[in-house]
Amino acid sequence: MTNKVKKISLLGATGSIGRSTLDIVTRFPERYQVVALGGGRNISELSAQAQRFRPQLLAVQDETGAEELEQALNAAGLKIPIMVGQPGAIAVATLSEANIVVAAMVGAVGLEPTHAALKAGKNVALANKESMVMAGRLLNEVASANKVAILPLDSEHSALWQALNGEPESGVEKLILTASGGPFREFSLAQMAEVTPEQAMRHPRWDMGPKITIDSATMMNKALEIIEARWLFDMAPEKIEVLVHPQSIVHSLVEYRDGSVLAQLGLPDMRLPIAYALSYPERLPLDLPKLNLAETGQLDFFAADEERFPALALVRKALASGDSGAIALNAANEIAVDRFRAGEIGFLEIAKMVAGVLDEIVAQEFSTLPQILDFDAKVRQSLLNSGN
Ligand code: NDP
Ligand code: MG
């Protein structure tokens, strides 16, 4: 191994993945150093992180936040440059000192900084799955042109990466993504029609940010993850399946052509895949609770139910519509999740809104970032105009 300290730029530092990443950095100060932190609106958290990790650069979502942060840092006797908005996130992503960027913003706003990081020749540990869904082909091209890697952070994709390690591609038959099934795994459609955002926020296994928690409840998260896996592992979407596994111990599986199935298991704790992406190909001596299968006792598996979880059928439709389908699915879902959280639409309306948008679009392929951002904006605008 190299003794060089890895210098990390962290986007989405104040979020669930961001905080878990900083936990890993804290445990291994001889290996990792934070050089830049990007947050959104949680200024008190970012200020505390800045005082603790002393980065060279900070970014926040808006001017008000920047002023508040500057005052907090002044009071602590610290002077660190603060940048704002997308230019700020891009500056964090491209800081010359950084050798790895952890992309953990939520949603489509993560795409430009992720793209910029790869273009600047940084390895990217990718949590922000929405960027891969919107622009997987482009991000892969940019990564390979700049000889850098996109390292999966998502637990399922980390599991696939580990189960694929060292195996020739030709032997892979299919990728099997596990899904906890979320809080409504056993609900009927009639019951789901009545659920509140508070109920949807209570995930049985994982403690995550609000958007991905709702995505897990609708299983749109798995739809996004199919597209994410397609690009991360260059796999035909027909070869990617979903398997419901309520205990969230088996994080995903690879089936090989001889019938062997390799899986990665572990307790549901994102610090594990984060540590793997940061330390690859090494494994860190992580002092966390370990899986005890005798205690777990039982592992259950079920086929996914596309009738109660239409997101799983919608992703096939989106994939059949090429790049525009994936971008539209993601954009419509982001808007629908915001509206559900605001109490404006019911839980089942989320998939209906996405289905409505997918019905309208024409299949198109996009090769540049402006084309992708432009199409994303058009989908969002059409939803706003239609009053849907
Ligand atoms: P959170 O909501 O907890 O965190 C999101 C982060 O993004 C926060 O730091 C937030 O800032 C920041 N942010 C949001 N909008 C903006 C913006 N416009 N400009 C700048 N920063 C912004 O989400 P998670 O950590 O749960 O998820 C992050 C990503 O990782 C998502 O793409 C998710 O799908 C993926 N992921 C998450 C997993 C998990 O276990 N949480 C597992 C696998 C993938 P602030 O809070 O300061 O406003
Ligand atoms: Mg996941």
The tens digit of pLDDT for each residue in 4-34 reads 899 999 999 999 999 999 999 999 999 999 9
Report d(CA 164, CA 232) in Å as an integer. 12
Indicate if 58 and 180 belong to the same structural domain: no
Q: Does pLDDT of 91 surpass 60?
A: yes
| 108 Cβ closer than 6 Å to some ligand 1 atom | no
- Tell me the CA–centroid distance for residue 219 and ligand 1, in Å: 18
Indicate if 173 and 78 belong to the same structural domain: no
Indicate if 187 and 145 belong to the same structural domain: no
Distance, C-alpha 27 to centroid of its chain = 23
Instruction: Give the pLDDT confidence of 153-211 residue by residue, as tens digits.
Output: 999 999 999 999 989 999 999 999 999 999 999 999 999 999 999 999 998 888 999 99
In this prediction, residue 1 has a pLDDT band, given cuts at 50, 70 and 90, of: very low
Q: Which of 123, 152, 181 is the last residue of a domain?
A: 152
Instruction: Give the pLDDT confidence of 245-258 residue by residue, as tens digits.
Output: 999 999 999 999 99
Q: Residue 147: is it exposed, middle or buried by C-beta count within 10 angstroms (0-12/13-18/19+)?
A: exposed
| 246 Cβ closer than 6 Å to some ligand 1 atom | no
Indicate if 198 and 241 belong to the same structural domain: yes
Instruction: Give the pLDDT confidence of 58-76 residue by residue, as tens digits.
Output: 999 999 999 999 999 999 9
Domain count, the chain: 2
pLDDT at site 204? 87
Note whether residue 281 is domain-resident. Answer: no
Atom number, ligand 1, closest to the C-alpha of residue 211? 2
Q: Does pLDDT of 387 surpass 70?
A: no
Note whether residue 275 is domain-resident. Answer: no
Amino acid in the structure at residue 164: L
Rg over CA atoms, the chain: 20
Indicate if 46 and 166 belong to the same structural domain: no
- Tell me which residue has its CA closest to atom 2 in ligand 1: 209
Report d(CA 34, CA 53) in Å as an integer. 6
Indicate if 236 and 374 belong to the same structural domain: yes
Range of the domain at 238: 156-267+290-386
Indicate if 229 and 84 belong to the same structural domain: no
In this prediction, residue 235 has a pLDDT band, given cuts at 50, 70 and 90, of: very high
Q: Does pLDDT of 322 surpass 60?
A: yes
Q: Tokens 């027909």 belong to which residue?
A: 238
| 102 Cβ closer than 6 Å to some ligand 1 atom | no
Note whether residue 276 is domain-resident. Answer: no
The mean pLDDT value of the chain amounts to: 97
Indicate if 71 and 185 belong to the same structural domain: no
Note whether residue 211 is domain-resident. Answer: yes
Q: Which of 135, 152, 169 is the last residue of a domain?
A: 152
Average pLDDT estimate for 67-95: 98
Q: Tokens 């961001």 belong to which residue?
A: 18
| CATH code: domain of residue 36 | 3.40.50.720
Q: Does pLDDT of 3 surpass 70?
A: no
Note whether residue 273 is domain-resident. Answer: no
| 106 Cβ closer than 6 Å to some ligand 1 atom | yes
- Both tokens of 305, joined, read 């139910």
- Cis omega (within 30 of 0) on the bond before 281? yes
Indicate if 38 and 180 belong to the same structural domain: no
Note whether residue 300 is domain-resident. Answer: yes
Indicate if 228 and 259 belong to the same structural domain: yes
Q: Which of 152, 174, 190 is the last residue of a domain?
A: 152
pLDDT at site 325? 98
- Tell me the CA–centroid distance for residue 284 and ligand 2, in Å: 21
- Alpha carbon separation from 237 to 46, 174, 176, 232, 316 (Å, rounded): 39, 9, 11, 12, 8
| 152 Cβ closer than 6 Å to some ligand 1 atom | no
| CATH code: domain of residue 351 | 1.10.1740.10
What is the 3 state secondary structure string of the chain?
CCCCCEEEEEECCCCHHHHHHHHHHHHCCCCEEEEEEECCCCHHHHHHHHHHHCCCEEEECCHHHHHHHHHHHHHCCCCCCEEEHHHHHHHHHHCCCCCEEEECCCCHHHHHHHHHHHHCCCEEEECCHHHHHHHHHHHHHHHHHCCCCEEECCHHHHHHHHHHCCCCHHHEEEEEEEECCCCCCCCCHHHHCCCCHHHHCCCCCCCCCHHHHHHHHHCHHHHHHHHHHHHHCCCCHHHEEEEECCCCCEEEEEEECCCCEEEEECCCCCHHHHHHHHHCCCCCCCCCCCCCHHHHCCCCCEECCCCCCCHHHHHHHHHHCHHHHHHHHHHHHHHHHHHHHCCCCCHHHHHHHHHHHHHHCCCECCCCHHHHHHHHHHHHHHHHHCCC
Indicate if 175 and 295 belong to the same structural domain: yes
Average pLDDT estimate for 146-157: 98
Instruction: Give the pLDDT confidence of 343-386 residue by residue, as tens digits.
Output: 999 999 999 999 999 999 999 999 999 999 999 999 999 998 88
Indicate if 110 and 223 belong to the same structural domain: no
- Both tokens of 97, joined, read 């000192």
Note whether residue 241 is domain-resident. Answer: yes
Note whether residue 112 is domain-resident. Answer: yes
pTM, to two decimals: 0.98
